[in-house]
Amino acid sequence: MTDRIAVGILGGTGYAGGELCRLLLNHPAVDRIHPSSRGTVQFERVHRNLAGSGLDFVTTDALLDGSVDVDVVFFATPTGEAMAHAGAFLDRGVRVIDLSADFRFADPGAFATAHGTPHTAPEQLARAVTNGITEHNRERIRGAALVANPGCYVITAALGLAPVLRSGIGGRGRTVHVTAVNGTTGAGSTPSRPTMHAEAHGTMLPYNLAGHRHADELVLRLDEAGAGPVDLDFSTSHGSFPRGIHVQASVAIADEHRGTVTRESLVELYTEHYGRGHTGEFFVVVNDNPGLLGPGAKEYDLYPTVRAVQGSNFCHIGLDVDERAGRVRVIAVTDNLVKGAAGSAIQNMNVMLGHDETSGLRGYGL
């Protein structure tokens, strides 16, 4: 175990970079934090919520050439940056956690298909743990040199869907419908008119309905989780909130299970799969509130909300059954900047370095 950790953050000016800094400032084993910037802007002018933290930007070149010594480096950068530079860090013995999509496919051809551009560092893929969902791949992540952090949509949907699909309750070969809504921070920090507050507030912004680049990743992660091949119908939007992921999925019940699946049996299945808090997966919480008002009543507290997980590394999951349609309904919510990015990356760092997995991440929702 590395007792005192020096951390570098490439892409320190973005939203995910800022969240890495915020969370790492509360990590008991992190000694130094070096966020990078290609410009000359002051740290506290970019991340005003971290005023008084004492952090400042280092140059990107100082991290890349080793002038600033680090034990771990996070790539909170656009796709393509980690491919270009991860090898240099690995050769110096620096652990790498990539929050972009660069190393999420073991097959470079699969990356090219999903992202429409060739993979420029296929020689590094053998060194990568491509599935960085900690709850699904903890043993391979332990001691790894390079971990590909999952996408925010993917980790939220995969945590929500894996138990019901693995159980066989979800009919194999039938379409799984996933509708996912991301906060506007999911569009990145580069200004654009459609995601300005004046344009995005009070509306929805559908995008990539012709095929989202993360669909192939989600299918792969579900297959690796034991769900088998999935026929995925995946649609995405930005919602009128800054941060969060709301995934609503619909899974056809296999013929042999029709009439036997209830919300209570699903809650039991998911609780057995994830456990409860300290006795199971600490960051996955299954909503087991009992229904009190009867059929047709609007019992909102049976399902999780984005608001409840904002600022935290938790994934909340809610379940129900539409008996008429013969479908299981799954709701999964996370904070796209924490569990969907910086938080899960730190969770992976903890596992890689032998620290308590929850170190620096025990804060609950805002």
Residue 171 has pLDDT above 90, yes or no: no
Confidence (pLDDT) at 1: 64
Residue 94 corresponds to which tokens in the numbers above?
């620096």
Q: Does residue 173 surpass a pLDDT of 90?
A: no
Per-residue pLDDT at 3 exceeds 80: no
Catalytic residues: 152
| Three-state secondary structure call for residue 205 | strand
Q: How far apart (Å, rounded) are the C-alpha atoms in residues 318 and 320? A: 7
- For residue 100, what are the CA distances in angstroms to 87, 119, 218? 15, 13, 15
Sequence-ordered strand ranges (E) for the chain? 5-10, 30-37, 58-59, 72-75, 95-98, 128-129, 146-148, 175-182, 205-207, 231-238, 245-252, 284-286, 315-322, 327-334
Give tens-digit pLDDT for 63-92. Answer: 999 999 999 999 999 999 999 999 999 999
Are 315 and 150 in contact, with CB atoms under 8 Å apart? no
pLDDT of residue 44: 96
The reported pLDDT for the residue numbered 186 is: 87
* Contact criterion met (CB below 8 Å) for 262 and 224: no
The answer for 119, left when phi > 0, alpha when psi is -120 to 50, beta otherwise, is: beta
The structural domains of the chain, ordered by start, are 5-150+339-353 (3.40.50.720), 153-336 (3.30.360.10)
C-beta of residue 155 within 8 angstroms of C-beta of residue 344: yes
Instruction: Quote the pTM value.
Output: 0.95
Helices 15-24 + 343-353 axis angle, to 10: 50
pLDDT tens-place string over residues 12-41: 999 999 999 999 999 999 999 999 998 888
Q: Which of 246, 258, 288 is nearest to 157 (CA)?
A: 246
What's the distance, Cα to Cα, between the start and end of the chain in Å?
A: 31
User: How confident is the prediction for the chain on average, in pLDDT?
Assistant: 94
- The Cα 152–Cα 159 span in angstroms is 11
Lowest model confidence (mean pLDDT) among 59-63, 114-118, 247-251, 274-278: 274-278
Q: Apex CA 36: angle with CA 35 and CA 42, to 5°?
A: 85
d(CA 46, CA 100): 21
Which of 231, 243, 147, 232 minimizes the C-alpha distance to 195? 243
